[in-house]
Chains A and B, each alone.
Chain A
């Protein structure tokens, strides 16, 4: 499996990762190498094997429906890049 610079640009956009155009070639090369390593998976048959998402055979524990958190806006927003009137600010969202 080998990826092109174009593929890398597309994936990078999906992941909102800025990558310099001069670097996409290098990424394409190293990612292709990694995909070759990964391709070893195809050497074994996994038909009828149940996928494993978690190491432990546990079920989800449920939390009682109780309000346990109080307002800490000033504390949380003290580390925010840009806020005004209690809101986080971002460049204009166009719908």
Chain B
């Protein structure tokens, strides 16, 4: 973004996020939803839209939608209805998608995001249940397209935001926060590569100070945080350029090409915008009884924002650490397990997890859930720091060994003889030798050159192979050099 006139324009962004719900079976049929099966092996008569078949709603999809609604403080519709959205496309077997139009299951709610340390509330207009479409495969089948309907009928929750975001950065923050939330609630695996979490962005710009929104364009199907930022920034630049030339924005659907880093018009979607929604006569109104709502509310897990606040208070963590540790439910659980089992200071636990552990996971491109070092083993390591068996420096060495093996910290410490020397006489002997061998440095220190102290510490640690307790070394050295 290098537009001189960018200051004159205000960016307006609203996001529509489709998240696949983590049910076992499809929203309206008993076919499996597992990802990656052979084409069309998970498409039953209902998913294929055979003549005469009928949809029956999956209760888990409804529960998950309600769970989400509760988490964003939304009104849950006591009475919601499904509608048919009509259009022809080969990945849509019935020629209509079962979705919701009037009376969606989740009404107005909100989500708080943080950008550059500033908190901001983004409105969520609605969230509704619908069925996913199949996939068109464009590899060459003698000039034809192949259709795989395994995905058809997978439950989706479409979450529609208000046009409340004012930069690509805010849009990304919102998307991340939502991603974090659906995984916290365990209603979606959030796997973006597999298309479990996809985003459409509505983008417009307007002269700063203008009330009325500019004409928007919709960028379809973006499936990474990086691309959403790039796609929006590209689109904003495109809008500003057109408007500054005196041109007009065409309201249209566009596709982001990540290879070329540009958006282009999707002609195929242009004409079919008369969806002829009407209530699906095959499905009846869905009622959410107050008891069910209360039950779901009572089972709601602690949400990221309150967890973060609690971490700050209970563990005295700074904002940044608390933010990182609560970014995923598994990570937060890992941290709390480690604190509990290690009896180590929470801040030290936090530093070790956000530093060493996440660093190593990042390098290996692993999620916390797949960490080779479990919370229990990790706690065993930190416990040995807390009880002075090993120093922090040695602990890093032990951690590396743990990463490579299944061994506990204690086993590694014992096998490699890494425990700290706590025998004061042994330390005293080392110190005495060093003082005797280095009369020049002793002289310098005694004449007031404090810096030389570090030299002595270094020598002691070297001779003890890092196993001397640094605090003890400091204390004894100071006394001996006096």
Contact = CB atoms under 8 A, between A and B. Distances in A.
A67 B59 contact: no
Interface string A75-95: 011000010111111111111
Contacts of B344: none
Interface stretch (A22-30, A40-48, A54-62): A54-62
B214 interface: no
A61 B287 CA distance: 9
Contacts, number: 120
B481 interface: no
Contacts of B274: 14
* Interface size range on A against B: 20 to 34
Contact of B90 (A54, A67, A90): A90
B58 A62 contact: yes
B31 A69 contact: yes
B146 A60 contact: no
A50 interface: no
B444 interface: no
B41 A95 contact: no
B24 A67 contact: yes
Contacts of A72: 44
Contact of A88 (B24, B88, B147, B255): B147
A76 B59 CA distance: 27
Contacts of B24: 65-67
Interface centre among A67, A68, A72, A77 (most CB of B within 10 A): A67
Contacts of B242: none
Interface residues of chain A: helix, strand, loop or mixed (majority) = loop
Contacts of A92: 138, 143-145
Interface residues of B, number: 52
Contacts of A69: 29-32, 44
A53 B255 contact: no
Interface stretch (B109-117, B276-284, B324-332, B455-463): B276-284
B56 interface: yes
A6 B18 CA distance: 37
A57 to B, nearest CB: 9
Given A66-B30, A94-B267, A87 B57 contact: no
Nearest to A63: B56
A20 interface: no
A58 B266 CA distance: 42
Interface string B68-87: 00000000000001000000
Nearest to A51: B279
A16 to B, nearest CB: 5
Contact of B145 (A59, A77, A85, A90): A90
Contact of B284 (A54, A68, A87, A91): A54
A86 B39 contact: yes
A53 B279 contact: yes
B284 A58 contact: yes
A18 interface: no
A73 B40 contact: yes
In order of increasing CB-CB distance, the 5 nearest A-B pairs are A68-B30, A87-B146, A62-B59, A65-B60, A69-B44
Given A88-B149, A89-B147, 12 more contacts: A59-B287, A61-B284, A63-B57, A66-B24, A67-B31, A67-B32, A69-B29, A86-B148, A87-B137, A88-B147, A90-B90, A91-B144
